[in-house]
Amino acid sequence: MVPRVLLIAGGRSPEHEVSLLSARGVLEHMPFPTELAVIAKDGRWLLGEEAHRALEAGLAPTGPHPFPPPLDWDRYGVVFPLLHGPFGEDGTIQGFLELLGKPYVGAGVVASALSMDKDLSKRVLQQAGLPVVPWVALYQGETPLIPFDPPYFVKPANAGSSIGIRRVEGSGELGEALAEAFRYDRKAVVEKALGGVRELEVGVLGNVFGQASPVGEVRYQASFYDYETKYTPGRAELLIPASLDPGTAETVQELALKAYRVLGIRGMARVDFFLCEGEVYLNEVNTIPGFTPTSMYPRLFQAGGVGYPELLRRLVELALEA
C-alpha cells in the first residue's frame, strides 16, 4: 500500500524560512502522495491552500492558532517533520507524534534533543572517544571563564543554520557575542577556533546502522560558514567528493557512522567535521539536514548514486520500518 505523507514545515524557530525552502525541494521530488502543513512562528497551523500560499511567500502569516491542529491524522501513513531548529529538531514535535502513534521520518525524541544541544552532544561524543573541538558551556547569568585564548566561536547551544554565532578575536568582544547567543538560547557554547581548517560533511541514511555518503567539502570566502553564505546561491562552493586521500575519507565516514550510532539516531543525519593539520574533529550532528537547492545532504547522496526521489522514498520506508 502506498503511504500518504504529511510534510510539516515552517515552525516557531528562527530557521522558519529555511524550513520552507527545504519543503519546496521535498514536495517537488517526493515519490509518494504528500500533503503540506505549515506552522507559523506563533504556532498557528496552516493547511491546504493556505499552507501552499505560505510556502510560496516564504513566511507563514501569524494569527489565531487552534491546538491540536484540525487534522485527520489517520489519513496519513507517515509524517515528515521538516522543521529545522527549536520546536522541530529538538524532540518536541517528535514527542507529539509519538503520543499520536504516528510513524515519522528522522530521529526519535532522545536522539533529536541530544543532537540538537551542542554541549550535551559533545559530552556524549567525547566520552565515546570521538574527537571534538575544545569547548565550554555557559548558562545565561554565569561568569564566563574560558579555558583557552581567542580566537573562538560563541554559539547558542540549541540553534542551527549558523544563527546567533559570532567569531571572537579578542576577549573584549566576548560580552557582545554572548548577548547575541543568549537571544536564542539560555545556554551558549564557546568553541576554540582552529586555524586553517577544511570543513567536511557526510550524510548518513539508515536506522541505527546507517549508510555513509561520499565526503563533501564546503569552501567559502566569509570569516566562517554563516547564514548568508549557507543560503545565498554562489556564496559557497560544495565539492563532492572532497579531494582527500582514501584513508582520511574513510576515517571521516567511520566517525560519522560511529557518532550516528552513539547518539541513537535513525533515519538521517548530516555530520560535520573539521580537518586541521591532518587531524579530524567532529563539529556537530544535524538530525534534520537542509533540503534546499544549495543543501549538502541530498547532493552528497546523489553523488553516491542515490537520487533525490530515491532518497525520500528510503526515508519514508525507514520511518515505517522504525
Residue 270 is among the residues annotated as catalytic for this protein: yes
Whole-number Å distance between alpha carbons of 215 and 297:
10
Residue 272 is among the residues annotated as catalytic for this protein: yes
Burial of 11 (0-12, 13-18, 19+ CB in 10 A): buried
Whole-number Å distance between alpha carbons of 122 and 128:
10
C-alpha closest to that of 259 among 130, 160, 158: 130
Residue 290 is among the residues annotated as catalytic for this protein: yes
Candidates 12, 44, 266, 270; catalytic one = 270
In this structure, what DSSP letter does residue 183 have? T
Candidates 10, 164, 290, 297; catalytic one = 290
Whole-number Å distance between alpha carbons of 77 and 292:
24
Residue 161 is among the residues annotated as catalytic for this protein: yes
Strand order in the sheet with 45-47: 45-47, 34-39, 5-10, 78-81
Buried b / exposed e along 258-287 (16+ C-beta atoms within 10 A): bbbebbebbbbbbbbbbbeeeebbbbbbbb
Whole-number Å distance between alpha carbons of 118 and 20:
24
Candidates 272, 281, 299, 308; catalytic one = 272
- Is residue 15 within 8 A of residue 84, CB to CB? The reply is yes
Whole-number Å distance between alpha carbons of 291 and 298:
7
Kindly tell me the sign of the dihedral angle through the C-alpha atoms of 133, 120, 288, 89: negative
Candidates 76, 231, 260, 308; catalytic one = 231
- Is residue 290 within 8 A of residue 135, CB to CB? The reply is no
- Whole-angstrom CA distances from 44 to 61, 95, 151, 220 are 8, 18, 41, 37
Residue 286 is among the residues annotated as catalytic for this protein: yes
Candidates 161, 213, 283, 295; catalytic one = 161
C-alpha closest to that of 87 among 159, 157, 25: 159
Candidates 15, 185, 191, 201; catalytic one = 15
Candidates 13, 158, 283, 286; catalytic one = 286
C-alpha closest to that of 297 among 130, 133, 105: 105
Catalytic positions, written as ranges: 15, 161, 231, 270, 272, 284, 286, 290
